[in-house]
Amino acid sequence: MRHRPRGENIIRFDSVGLRYGLGPEVLQDVTFKLPAGSFHFLTGPSGAGKSSLLRLMYLGLRPTRGRVVLFDRDIAATKRYELPALRRRIGVVFQDFRLLDHMTALDNVALPLRVRGVKESEIRRHVPELLSWVGLADHLGAKPSTLSGGQKQRVAIARAVIGRPDLLLADEPTGNVDDHIAMRLMYLFEELNKLGTTIVVATHNELLVRRFAHLPRLHIEHGMVTTLHQEPAATDDPEAE
Amino acid sequence: MLFRRRHSDLPLAGDATSRFLPWLVALMVFLSSMAVAGAFVIGAVIERWDRDVSGTLTVQVLPAGGDHGDAVTEERVNSAIDVMRKVPGVLAVRAFDKKRTLALLEPWLGSTEMVQDMPLPRLIDVTIDPESRIDLAEVALRLSRAVPGASLDDHRIWLSRLINLSRTMQWLAVVVVVLIGAVTSATVVYATRTGMAVHHGIIEVLHLIGAHDDYIARQFADRAFALGIAGGLMGLGLAVPALTAIGWAARRLEGGFLPSLSLPVLGYIAIGLLPLLAALLAMLTARLTVHGTLAKLP
């Protein structure tokens, strides 16, 4: 993970629009900036375009118009073969986890490292350590089909953070877990944020958002970013103040 | 085992293509082996024909009629020998006696008892320096003027037609091999695309976590190579006994007028390399197919 000065923009969207095929625009004139080291909620009702916005952020889609700048790189002007290097700086927790069913928890978490060509000895050292940290030390060899929803979620989070990303995007990470685990996951994200990772958590869980009212909120509705709350709530991160 | 020495993120081993592709490659290698063997055998035959006749000419002297026909014919044969000996570049001139002429006819006619008493043309075998540039048309004219009933039969005239036909067959065999390669490639393209569709979800995850296209393509290419080499060896295993049987049958057919139908060493090497070539073709095709398909992703 590269250490970026807090406040420098890690993502910038300028008048971004997105449509699927010939359908209507699902995102319209989306303009916002996310400073490095920030922690945002991405809120909005179901179907508002949260997942589409996240897909644009993790380079799973290209906008149909507008400008996306990620890590100071204009995506439209970036060559296709250069995009994997940018994607490796992004960790994604997918809404449906997208764990590979034929692989063990350990292999799933090791995937981003193997893609980067990290040595097996390094993988052997780091992956079990991280899985222990998320409470899955006893499930290294377990296939996803044998894990509970919460355990799968932790494997997905471990996979997203194993590469120590600059940007962590989580799509409804608390959607399938009870309140207790949801709170634990949020504390885990806060810990990662303290280590310098910029975090965006997409959720429609209003209760969760209220509990973490100090976090700024990127609100999207009808395909437009309508509100960007920066509530001056108390935070335990002195650098963010 | 938690950690594998050589991992593959895609579970390609269980795909349906893993079952049918080796058999298809086996069939293709078998058919290619037949075509390659045919091409090499024809090539060897052409080479031998070429070598056999490039240094020889034949003079034919028609039998003279009348009471003293044999004596006249003999005289004409001697005249023709004299004419040919004077041609620069001629190394040796040798007339075939009647017995030798009958022996040459035997493979075509079977028993020669019937034609023993018939007037037969006399043949004169002329050995020439292959490097010499003899004007055959001029020699033929001179011969026919000097010796009544004598004509120059240049083997190369009719043999060149035979060689052309054989070369066409040889090219046909090459075209067959190319077509077989194209069909194999098309099948690998289809199998790879099917595999990519089946594992679309996994490929998307790999893509989104920063895998380069070649990281994914390599896994399909490795699998295609493994299936190709397995199928290729099966095909070779079927081709070897088939070629042996054909060779055995051909040896039984060989007569005085049929050349030896043996496969040269280079042919054995080419056929031995077919499984590897098929596997490399499958590997390359799979790799290019994956690259082509992934290029459509953002």
Q: Within this chain, do residues B283 and B193 fall inside the same structural domain, yes or no?
A: yes
B83 at A interface, C-beta within 8 A: no
Q: Within this chain, do residues B171 and B261 fall inside the same structural domain, yes or no?
A: yes
Q: Within this chain, do residues B73 and B38 fall inside the same structural domain, yes or no?
A: no
pLDDT, position A237? 43
Cβ-contact A90, A68 below 8 angstroms:
no
pLDDT, position A235? 45
Task: Please state, in angstroms and as integers, the Cα–Cα distance from residue B61 to each residue in A112, B66, B83, B143, following that order.
Answer: 88, 16, 13, 10
Q: Within this chain, do residues B189 and B271 fall inside the same structural domain, yes or no?
A: yes
The structure tokens listed for B101 are 């002429």
Report which residue type is found at B13: A
Mean pLDDT of A39-49: 87
Residue that is last in its domain, among B99, B125, B148: B148
d(CA A47, CA A223): 9
pLDDT, position B6? 53
Q: Within this chain, do residues B131 and B74 fall inside the same structural domain, yes or no?
A: yes
Q: Within this chain, do residues B29 and B92 fall inside the same structural domain, yes or no?
A: no
State yes or no: pLDDT of A69 exceeds 90. yes
Q: Within this chain, do residues B174 and B263 fall inside the same structural domain, yes or no?
A: yes
Q: Is residue B224 part of a domain?
A: yes
Q: What is the pTM of this model?
A: 0.76
Q: Within this chain, do residues B245 and B117 fall inside the same structural domain, yes or no?
A: no
* Per-domain boundaries in chain A: 100-164
Q: By C-alpha distance, which of A225, A166, A215 is closest to A186?
A: A215
Please enumerate in sequence order all residues whose Cβ is within 8 A of that of B60, keeping only pairs 6 or more positions apart, or say none.
B121, B122, B123, B124, B150, B151, B152, B153
Q: Which of residues 129-148 of A touch B (CB under 8 A)?
A: 140-141
Q: How confident is the model at residue B178 (pLDDT cuts 50, 70, 90)?
A: very high
Q: Within this chain, do residues B100 and B211 fall inside the same structural domain, yes or no?
A: no
A60 at B interface, C-beta within 8 A: yes
Q: How confident is the model at residue B139 (pLDDT cuts 50, 70, 90)?
A: confident
Provide the percentage of residues in chain B whose pLDDT is more than 70. Answer: 90
pLDDT, position B186? 95
Burial degree of B180 (CB within 10 A; 0-12, 13-18, 19+): buried
Please enumerate in sequence order all residues whose Cβ is within 8 A of that of A103, keeping only pairs 6 or more positions apart, or say none.
A111, A143, A144, B9
Q: Is residue B144 part of a domain?
A: yes
pLDDT, position A111? 94
Using one digit for the tens of pLDDT, what is the confidence trace for A83-142?
A: 999 999 999 999 889 999 999 999 999 999 999 999 999 999 999 999 998 888 899 999
Residue A58: list chain B partners with CB under 8 A. Answer: 208
Q: How confident is the model at residue A228 (pLDDT cuts 50, 70, 90)?
A: low
Q: Within this chain, do residues B177 and B243 fall inside the same structural domain, yes or no?
A: yes
Q: By C-alpha distance, which of A119, A91, A114 is closest to A104?
A: A114
Residue B292: list chain A partners with CB under 8 A. Answer: none
> In A105-165, which residue ranges form alpha helices assigned H by DSSP?
105-115, 120-133, 149-161
Using one digit for the tens of pLDDT, what is the confidence trace for B90-128?
A: 889 998 887 777 777 777 776 767 777 777 888 898 888
The structure tokens listed for A138 are 């006893």
Residue B2: list chain A partners with CB under 8 A. Answer: 104, 106-107, 140-141
A85 at B interface, C-beta within 8 A: yes
Mutation for testing the A interface, residue in B15, B205, B209 having most A CBs under 10 Å: B209
Residue A118: list chain B partners with CB under 8 A. Answer: none
Q: Minimal Cα distance from A97: which residue of B?
A: B205
Q: Within this chain, do residues B19 and B106 fall inside the same structural domain, yes or no?
A: no
Residue that is last in its domain, among B148, B181, B204: B148
Residue A141: list chain B partners with CB under 8 A. Answer: 2
Least confident range of A7-16, A161-170, B253-262: B253-262
Q: Within this chain, do residues B257 and B135 fall inside the same structural domain, yes or no?
A: no
Mean pLDDT of B210-237: 95
Q: Is residue B211 part of a domain?
A: yes
CB-closest option in B3, B202, B213 to A100: B202
For chain A, the average pLDDT equals 86
Write the ipTM.
Answer: 0.87
Q: Is residue B56 part of a domain?
A: no
d(CA A217, CA A215): 6
A185 at B interface, C-beta within 8 A: no
Residue A87: list chain B partners with CB under 8 A. Answer: 207-210
Cβ-contact B279, B232 below 8 angstroms:
yes
B215 at A interface, C-beta within 8 A: yes
Q: What is the domain extent for residue B276?
A: 13-51+161-293
Indicate yes or no: CB of A81 within 8 angstroms of CB of B212. yes
Using one digit for the tens of pLDDT, what is the confidence trace for B6-56?
A: 567 888 888 887 888 999 999 999 999 999 999 888 888 887 777 666 677
